[in-house]
A and B are shown apart, each in its own frame.
Chain A
Amino acid sequence: DGGITQSPKYLFRKEGQNVTLSCEQNLNHDAMYWYRQDPGQGLRLIYYSQIVNDFQKGDIAEGYSVSREKKESFPLTVTSAQKNPTAFYLCASSFLAGGDNEQFFGPGTRLTVL
C-alpha cells in the first residue's frame, strides 16, 4: 500500500528548540518537497529535492534545514532561527520523468511552538 507518511500528526515544542519532522514515501518517487500552510494562505515551498544528496531552497527556506540521504526519506528540521514556526507542514513527492508534475501529499504535521 503505497503512500507518503508524516509523523507525528501533532507536535508541540518550546520556543528556542529545534524540531525535526519526518517524511517517508514508498512510491519510488524521485522528488520530494516540503511546504508550509498558514491560515488563509496557500502552500509555500520551503525546500525540495530532486535526487538523493541534493536539495534546493524554496521560497521560504530561512530557519529550516533538510537532508536527503535516502530516496524514501526527506526530514525537515525547524530551527530556533525560524521566527514564526507554528504552522501546518506538508510533505509531498513526485516523479520527474515524463513531464507530469502531479505531487502526492502526506497528511501533514501541525507544529505548535509554545
Chain B
Amino acid sequence: DQQVKQNSPSLSVQEGRISILNCDYTNSMFDYFLWYKKYPAEGPTFLISISSIKDKNEDGRFTVFLNKSAKHLSLHIVPSQPGDSAVYFCAASSINAGGTSYGKLTFGQGTILTVHP
C-alpha cells in the first residue's frame, strides 16, 4: 500500500520554463510534507517543506503548494535551470502522531527531472 505516490517517473523541461512535480498521498494523518532532491550515488538533500496549516510555501525559485482536500501537493521550479536536473522525492509525515510514528517519513517513488539547455 503506497501511501505517497509520484505518478510521473520523469519530466523533461526547457531551461527557463516552469517545472511542476506532483505528489499524491492517501493517509489523512499526514500533516507535514517535504521535497528532497537527489543526484545519482549521493544522499538526498532537503529542498523545501510545508505544514498542513499552510497551502503554499516559497523559497527562491521553489514553491510548494498543498491541496489538503485533494491530498495533493506540487513543487514548482521557476525558472528551471540545467543544474536542477535530478531525482525529486516528496515525503510525508505525521508530526502530531506521537509515539513511535513521530519523525517517520514516507517517501514517494521519485520523479526524474531533466532540464535541457
Contacts and interface: CB of A to CB of B under 8 A. Distances in A.
**Does A associate with B in a complex?**
yes
Interface of A: 4, 6, 31, 33, 35, 40-45, 48, 50, 56, 58, 88, 90, 92, 94, 96, 99-108, 110
Nearest 10 pairs of A and B residues by beta carbon: A105-B43, A42-B107, A99-B95, A42-B109, A43-B107, A101-B93, A31-B103, A56-B100, A105-B44, A102-B46
Given A105-B43, A105-B45, A107-B43, A99 B32 contact: yes
A81 B34 CA distance: 33
Give the interface SS of chain B, mostly helix, strand, loop or mixed. loop
B44 A90 contact: yes
Given A101-B93, A107-B42, A110-B41, A41 B49 contact: no
A44 B4 CA distance: 12
24 contacts: A40-B9, A40-B109, A41-B109, A41-B110, A42-B4, A42-B6, A42-B108, A43-B44, A45-B104, A50-B103, A88-B41, A90-B43, A94-B103, A99-B96, A100-B49, A101-B32, A101-B93, A101-B95, A103-B46, A103-B105, A104-B46, A105-B36, A107-B42, A108-B42
**Which range holds the interface residue count of chain B?**
20 to 34
